[in-house]
């Protein structure tokens, strides 16, 4: 997990979390970025209630992959697979 979240560079923070291959780190990083945005709007965009989204992105939750994809999309990002050999 990256050490610090830079509000001015959330994309790099999330990318670093994905590089860990740790689902809890990924969820936690998405949650930290989401909390800097309008969480109520994000929850609506994702189709969840706010408290469920907070739990899912706490790092202790176990969000479904579909939820992760929706959150990533709602944050204006997308997942792009690349070869592990890179």
- Digit-by-digit pLDDT tens for the chain (86 residues) are 556 667 678 888 899 999 899 999 999 999 999 998 889 999 999 999 999 999 999 888 889 999 999 999 999 999 888 888 75
Which of 76, 69, 74 shows the shortest CA–CA distance to 18? Answer: 69
Distance CA 30, CA 14 (A): 7
- pLDDT for 4 equals 67
Predicted pLDDT at 46:
93
Res 37: pLDDT: 86
């Amino acid at each position: 997990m990256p050490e610090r979240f830079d509000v001015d560079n959330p994309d790099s923070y999330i990318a670093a979390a994905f590089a860990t291959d740790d689902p809890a780190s990924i969820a936690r990083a998405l949650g930290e970025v989401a909390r800097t945005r309008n969480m109520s709007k994000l929850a609506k965009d994702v189709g969840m209630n706010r408290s469920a989204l907070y739990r899912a992105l706490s790092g202790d939750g176990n969000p479904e992959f579909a939820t992760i994809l929706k959150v990533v999309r709602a944050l204006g990002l997308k997942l792009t697979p690349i070869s592990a050999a890179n």
